[in-house]
Structure 1
Amino acid sequence: MVTSRPPAEPMPVRVLGGPTALFDHGGLRFLTDPTFDAPGEYPVPGGPPLVKTAPSAAGPAGVGRVDVVLLSHDEHPDNLDHSGRKFLADVPLTLTTPGGARRLGGRARGLADWEPVRLDRPGGGTVTVTGVPAVHGPGERADVEPVLGEVVGFVLTGDGLPTVYVSGDNASLDPVRQVAERFGPVDTAVLFAGAPRVPGLFGGGLLVLDSVRAAEAAGILGARRVVPVHHDSWSHFTEGRDTLIAAFAGAGLSDRLDLGERPGLGERPGLSGRPDL
């Protein structure tokens, strides 16, 4: 268990539902895994359809300017849907997996593990985005990638800026430990959680972190604040807000957890759901 300490000055993160969140960093606006489609069934190859149960808190028009999309992977509709794909055409840069960049083309750029890209800040200086490992399922990458494809996470750094970790669809604590060794402590961790499971796939094993592992990841990272995403709006996400609250309380990390609220569902100014980015 990590000793409690005061959180760093919060960097506003607007949570839109599912894996989609919007934040400013160094004067640039970043959006994670854009999913804007309406609720309904979305087919996936070789398995049952994924069911979206709630709309996004904002559509493409309501997001405003986006400089960079951080796309953990392009192959599943709960991470990149039809509207999200159209949205990419208007974004100057999409950072994703090497394979995803080849499939998407255009302004998409793939990042291998630990590969950095430096982005110019509007007022001078740079933001460095580094691709980091992720394992989308139980076991080793060699076991899960042939089934679910490759996934990338991201770490954002810059002079005088907070360190931000975006996990992507990752179910393993091993990449989290590697990120902590290279970049910890982390100021803000945007952790994909929700304990998604699909019957018949890897024996119903975890495809992304559950709540207990998300809390453990926060401790490993020394995260001053955790903004969880990817825990609502889809039926295969088996753990939500209440489970996250309980897990972080059990780990003694309640002061690190910033759930916020999705805009329009009871905003709390200054937290993840604040609409005034």
Structure 2
Amino acid sequence: MPSKIAFAASRAPVAQAAHATLTQRYGNAPLAEADVIVALGGDGFMLQTLHDTLELLAPVYGMNCGTIGFMMNAYAEDELVERLTAAEEAVINPLSMRATHTDGRQSRALALNEVALLRAGPQAAKLQITVDGRLRMQELVCDGALVATPAGSTAYNYSAHGPILPIGADVLALTAMAAFRPRRWRGALLPKTAKVRFDVLEPEKRPVMADADGTSYRDVASVEIQSEPSISHRILFDPGHGLEERLISEQFT
């Protein structure tokens, strides 16, 4: 049973009101001392909280004070300690991204959902795709492409008509957005151990930006992406409402 709960809330008024109510009722431990962290907001804030608390040992339990709340539990003020005690844990490994910019700079980031490459100008992007050192596609003309984890497969990936992946699958989804050549190419399923490299063709004429869970990096020349098994995020869900169940349910709605 968790004795120290730390609350974090998005800036949305409904989340701030929930934060005030819950901290008054259950207290609010410092993040570094907490047994569990309760995130109040939507999926975007949940991702932010997971990134911000990466170095801490406490798992994160989200309560939905946002819109969709795919990664969140239902909001309720009563019996929170009992819910946290009974919660089921899901462990997620993020993607690591290394982007090389057109001026030679490098940027690194982690992403729980996906790393996406997006055209940043009026013309379609031209991308070359290499997997594990082997050239797989000489030229993909598209609005963009992304690599998604199973946890992120129902987010941007699904909107781009990518596949929903079971949470325990050792698979990554590589999905194209509005592919023009090859016509309507949807992408590929790759082993979780795969190292994916995108090289931007004609980057000055067709600028491309990289995006890792909502953080953008402009003017990239190449991007390397792979799963990072050495890093684990712990997320708590109410029994029967974990990520695996949500991923299955999403396919029947």
For the aligned pair, the TM-score class normalised by the smaller chain equals: under 0.3
TM-score where L is the length of structure 1: 0.25
TM-score (norm 2): 0.26
Instruction: Answer 1 or 2: which has greater helix percent.
Output: 1
Q: Which has the higher strand share?
A: 2
Computing the radius of gyration from Cα coordinates, the structure with the larger value is 2
